[in-house]
Structure 1
C-alpha cells in the first residue's frame, strides 16, 4: 500500500487529500484538487464531520472502564478526537481572492500568498 508521500508524487499541484473512506479492497482513497468547494471535497468534509460527531457520541455514551484494554481504548479515542478537533481548528480560513497557486509545496492564494491548506 502506498503512503501519502508516494501518492503525492503521482499528482500535480497541491498534496493529495486522504479521503475518509476506502476502496472496496480496503486501500486508501485520495483526492487531488485545489477546489475546496468541489463535489468530492464537500462530500469528504461532510463525512469527516459525521465521523467526528459519531466518535464524540460514542465517547460520551461509554463509561470509562477500570484499567485494562477498554480503558486504553476509551483514552485513545478521546485523545485522537481531541487531536482531530485541534487540527481542524488550526486550519486557516480561506481568503476571498479565490485564486490558488502552489507555494513551496502548499496551496496558497495567488494574490496574497496566504496558505490555504495545511
Structure 2
C-alpha cells in the first residue's frame, strides 16, 4: 500500500472505521429506501454521492468527535436520553451529508499525525 494512503485512509483503527462505516451504510439504506418509493428511482449522481459519503463518513465523524472532545473535555452531562439520541441522529446525519467537505480535514490530520512519528 502506498505510504500516503496508509497514513490517511489507514489512519483509523479498524473497529472504529467499520463501526462508523456501518452507520454510514444505514443512512445509504434509508435514502435508497425512501428514493425507491418515488416513481423516478435514485438518480445516478445521488447514488454516487451517497457511496462517496458512506466511504468518507468515518473520517467525517472522526473530525466531529475530535472537535467535540476538545471542546467538552472529560465533562459528563446528564440529560434526557431521547433528546440525546435525537441530537446524535442530527449530528450523524450532518456528518454524513457533508462528509465530502469534512472528511478531508480528518484525512489531512491523520496524514500529519502519522507522518510525525
Q: How does the TM-score come out when normalised to structure 2?
A: 0.29
More helix per residue: 1 or 2?
2
Larger radius of gyration: 1
More strand per residue: 1 or 2?
1
